[in-house]
Amino acid sequence: MNGPRRALVVIDVQQEYFQGPLAVQYPPRDESLARIVRAVDTAVEAGVPVITVQHELPEGAPVFAAGSEGWQLHPEIERRSETASKHVVKGHSSVFTAGDLVEWLRANEIDTLTLVGYMTNNCVLATAAAAEPLGFAVEVLSDATGAIHLANEAGKVSAQQVHETLMVLLHSNWAAVADTGTWAVAVSGQKSLDKSDLGTSAVQGQAAH
């Protein structure tokens, strides 16, 4: 049986997530960045295509304004951009809204997307959910993404609660969730990562509570 045909999707590792109100809070952004870099280096060494994604809004927007400091890729990703197989720009949460990405994935016979980058509670979640009807399997590296504290009329929640809850949610249906080290072993062995399903997660949830 053939192993998965992966692509590593590096979502929005931009300066906006390292400063100001969108600065990632959990896991600590310097730690998640180090795992993202490790994933990129692992993918390049293994011949796994790397796709870098950059969020962009019109000039003058409060965040991600084209050409602004916050819009720039983090230097650790920028210096690795020459090794990327593709770079896309998007203006919505899901990476599938970026240009010809879906067509490129089909043309390169990619069937599994490994998601790293920011944020857990926005673009990672949206991409994982959007992949289902497109037929792509998804992996999310739990230590190579991150969330922010949130509060609004519906309540408030810490970044750690957001991140940990969404990892469980994703693993129950939309993605195989693992840490970067476990994924690197799977890449080396050309193996798929195991994921749960909603029924199993529901039964285990009842037993746990």
Residue 116 has pLDDT above 70, yes or no: yes
CA torsion sign for 26, 30, 33, 34 is negative
Is 119 among the domain residues? Answer: yes
* Partner residues linked to 151 by β-bridges: 156
Give 82's pLDDT tier (boundaries 50, 70, 90).
confident
CATH number at 61 reads 3.40.50.850
* CA angle (163 as vertex; 205, 84 as ends), nearest 5: 125
| pTM recorded for the entire structure | 0.96
Residue 138 has pLDDT above 90, yes or no: yes
Q: State how far the Cα of 17 lies from the Cα of 67, in Å rounded to an integer.
A: 16
Write out pLDDT tens, residues 145-160: 999 999 999 999 999 9
Q: What local confidence, expressed as pLDDT, does residue 20 receive?
A: 86
Residue 192 has pLDDT above 70, yes or no: yes
Q: At what angle do helices 29-46 and 180-188 cross, to 10 degrees?
A: 0
State the total domains in the chain. 1
Write out pLDDT tens, residues 11-41: 999 999 999 899 999 999 999 999 999 999 9
Is 69 among the domain residues? Answer: yes
Is 40 among the domain residues? Answer: yes
Residue 99 has pLDDT above 90, yes or no: no
Is 1 among the domain residues? Answer: no
- With CA atoms as reference, report the closest residue to 180 among 146, 141, 124: 141
Is 45 among the domain residues? Answer: yes
**Domain containing residue 142:** 6-208
E strand or H helix at 53, and its extent? strand 50-55
Give the other-Cβ count within 10 Å of 207's Cβ. Answer: 7
Q: What local confidence, expressed as pLDDT, does residue 2 receive?
A: 79
